[in-house]
Amino acid sequence: MNREGLAQLFYREVEKITANPELQKLEKVNGFYRLLNLLFVELTRKERLHFTTPVSYTHLTLPTKRIV
């Protein structure tokens, strides 16, 4: 899909999500999450980047048991 097509898809889907009074806040957040994920996949398709699992850096930021 080209960038213009992605832009049209983005605005159409944002309109659907925001204009639907039946959706709860969490459902709207989930809708935006799915939309952004779809856009990321489409925009990085050429680079063939595959990020399917969230990365946690918690183990890098927690204090360690060091003897000073």
pLDDT in tens, 29-53: 999 999 888 888 888 877 765 556 6
Q: Is the confidence at residue 61, as pLDDT, over 90? A: no
Whether pTM > 0.85 for this model: the answer is no
pLDDT at 52: 61
pLDDT at site 28: 92
Q: What is the tens place of the pLDDT at every residue in 7-31? A: 898 899 999 999 999 989 999 999 9
pLDDT above 70 (res 6): yes
User: Cα separation of 8 and 3, whole Å?
Assistant: 9
